[in-house]
């Protein structure tokens, strides 16, 4: 049995609201909140992880990503050009392989 972890790095936004902070991963339209900016970002990372795992388990991940405007790229290095520095979250999504896949 093998374990693979995929790390997704997403843009994040945090705004102060009454009594706390609201956080958002706009590229997936996932929202969360927390009493501090750090907690809001931690809660957002967990919400994104749960969201992506649920989409994967339902078999809808491709459709959801396409609906959010995502497209596959052939060379990841090309995506780094012109990337604006800003607030981001990294979300680890672990997968466990029950058996070997023979493709």
Q: What is the pLDDT of residues 41-57, one digit of tens each?
A: 999 999 999 999 999 99
Please check whether residue 103 lies inside any domain of the structure: no
Helix, strand, coil % over all residues of the chain, rounded to 5: 35, 35, 30
Please check whether residue 71 lies inside any domain of the structure: yes
**CATH label of the domain that carries residue 52:** 3.30.160
Please check whether residue 40 lies inside any domain of the structure: yes
What's the confidence (pLDDT) of residue 66?
92
Calculate mean pLDDT across residues 68-86.
66
Domain total in the chain:
1
CA dihedral angle for residue 7, residue 82, residue 69, residue 55, rounded to 10 degrees: 0
The residues that bridge with 22 in the sheet, in sequence order, are 15, 33
pTM of the model: 0.78
Please check whether residue 26 lies inside any domain of the structure: yes
- Kindly report the average pLDDT of the chain as a whole number: 85
Instruction: Count, in order, helices (H) and strands (E) of the chain.
Output: 3, 5
Please check whether residue 38 lies inside any domain of the structure: yes
Q: By residue range, what is the domain housing residue 56?
A: 2-93
Radius of gyration of the chain from its Cα atoms, rounded to whole angstroms: 16
């Amino acid at each position: 049995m093998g374990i693979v972890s995929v790390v997704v790095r997403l843009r994040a936004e945090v705004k102060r609201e009454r009594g706390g902070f609201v956080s958002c991963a706009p590229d997936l339209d996932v929202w969360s909140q927390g009493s501090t900016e750090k907690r809001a970002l931690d809660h957002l990372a967990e919400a994104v992880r749960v969201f992506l795992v649920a989409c994967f388990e339902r078999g809808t991940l491709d459709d959801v990503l396409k609906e959010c405007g995502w497209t596959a790229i052939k060379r990841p290095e090309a995506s780094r050009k012109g990337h604006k520095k800003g607030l981001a979250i990294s979300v680890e999504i672990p997968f466990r392989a029950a058996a070997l896949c023979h493709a």
